[in-house]
Amino acid sequence: MSRIVQNQIQELSKRLTDSISKVIKGKDDVIRKVTVCLLCGGHILLEDIPGTGKTTLVKALARSVNASFTRVQFTPDLLPSDLTGANIYNQKTTEFDFKPGPVFTQILLADEINRATPRTQSSLLECMEEGQVTVDGETHRLQQPFFVVATQNPVEIQGTFPLPEAQLDRFFMRLSMGYPQPESERAMLTEFMQGSPLESISPITDTSEILHAQQLVRQITVCESVQDYLLRIVTATRSHDRIRLGVSPRGSIAFLRASQAWAALEGREYVLPDDVKAVCCDVLSHRLLCKGAHLSQNEAARSILQEILNGTPVPIEAPV
């Protein structure tokens, strides 16, 4: 990969960060990781309390990349066909016509996904993994890029249906916005005093550039020593005495892809161990099932992953 191409990816990331930062203040690290997911073609589970800007972040992203956007409020009475679409009988033609559901978009916000029943949640599995919908035996391709951001409130669990491990594994990263710092919140108040700055966001790229960047990221070199380092971390999760369910092969691939994207955003054509460390917890924590966690599953998983990172020897060979 040439230096010009590397700079293109860096410059794209900076434009996205600058655009989204007009409405999301002091969260450049979260925006950067959202960019990593977008460049890897992955999906995000955004877990945080209400009011921290989850929906605003996704809307700002959709406006910035000039992508079609749909928000679906997940509720217990939401049916799978309400998402994927259904075949509707046409009395004029005496035939069934397919009416696409809201998943036929480029950026889908699945708001409070854990409030829908497992049956409805599982209707997203094919969409997220294969980029398609099958209804009555007929397959319909989704427009690319297809990017799902699902939100859930980790505090309020009454009336919710926890996501099963099989569905959690479909998410590329689990991220949290968190409260802003006082100076960032003050800047936010100033911006919102006379209206929403979201309306002022205009496209700074398009989906064709995103798709091109996704191809470029896969060209980032990962040498054998760094691959071995990554695999030692993954393998350690499968034998750790405090982990009941370790990282799957799907998780290993996501770990590799995220490391490539992080290296690209750093302006390098090869992955370093530091890139692996930078994305480790966000990519792997939700794929672990911990035993008897006194903390939340997420906090326990992150603690164990940090312990594994501290105990895994870092390769010292030249990366290229």
Q: Which of 4-8, 17-21, 40-44 has the lowest mean pLDDT?
A: 4-8
The whole-model pTM stands at 0.89
CA 229 to each of CA 254, 265, 284: distance values in angstroms, whole numbers, following the listed order: 15, 21, 15
Q: What is the pLDDT of residue 5?
A: 53
Give the model confidence (pLDDT) of 241-278 as tens digits: 888 889 999 999 999 999 999 999 998 899 999 999 99
Per-residue pLDDT averaged across 2-25, rounded?
80
Which of 27-36, 54-63, 67-76, 196-205 has the least mean pLDDT? Answer: 196-205
Q: Which residue has the higher pLDDT, 2 or 110?
A: 110
Mean pLDDT of the chain: 88
